[in-house]
Amino acid sequence: MGWLSKLFNLEAFEEKSAYSGNGATQDLKNSRDDARNRLKLVLMHDRSKLAPQTLEKMRDELIAVITKYVEIDGEALRLNFETESNTIALMANIPVLRQKETDESEGGPAATTTDKSGKTDKPTKADKAVKPTKDKSSPAALKEEPSLV
């Protein structure tokens, strides 16, 4: 699946899939959820007008903007499409390594990406399978408008 799975965070799903293992016995039952989940991801990509290169570019630019204010783990940054009750959201999970020392004047609108309540000293390298939205206190969960349908 290559970039597609990277893009859509397919690993978590593939682990569950009955066909991913190389074991001898494969469970052929209850494949409905497999079909539904795989199809949703494929269609999200089909429907989005964004080329994979564009998404890579967007990812790089996001990193560039955020690193102006906080030190992040660019390698671990994840940018995924997810469905939430009929809307598609672009979800970014951005592990923060350290908050940068910034002037109050500079920490304007862009400071919204970090939680003021602190605890950002230690990296919040959340497990990749954990959805950032579920954890409201996740410091760098960034949700954009579902604009890709």
Partner 1 sequence: MSATTVDTKAPTETSPAPQAKSSTPTKGRVVVVTSGKGGVGKTTASANVGTGLARLGYTVILVDTDIGLRNLDILMGLENRIVYNIIDVIEERCKLNQALVKDKRLPNLSLLPAAQTRDKSALNAEYMMKLVNEMREKADFVVIDSPAGIEQGFQNAVVAADEAIVVCNPEMSSIRDADRIIGLLEANDNVQTYKLIVNRVRPGMMKNNDMMDIDDVLDILNIKLLGIVPEDQDIIISTNRGEPIVSVDQSMAGQAYRNIARRVAGEDVPFLDLEAPTGFMDKMKNLFKVAKASVF
Binding site for partner 1 (CB under 8 A): 29-33, 35-36, 38-40, 42-43, 46-47, 86
Smallest distance from partner 1 to CB 143, Å: 21
Q: Which residues contact 12 (CB under 8 A, 6 or more apart)?
A: 128, 129
Identify which of residues 6 and 38 has a Cβ nearer to partner 1 in the complex: 38
Q: Is 103 exposed, middle or buried (0-12, 13-18, 19+ CB in 10 A)?
A: exposed
CB atoms within 10 A of CB 99: 17
Nearer to partner 1, 42 or 129 (CB): 42
Query: Minimal distance in Å, beta carbon 69 to partner 1?
Result: 38
CB 95, CB 125: distance < 8 Å: yes
Whichever of 85 and 105 has its CB closer to partner 1, that residue is 85
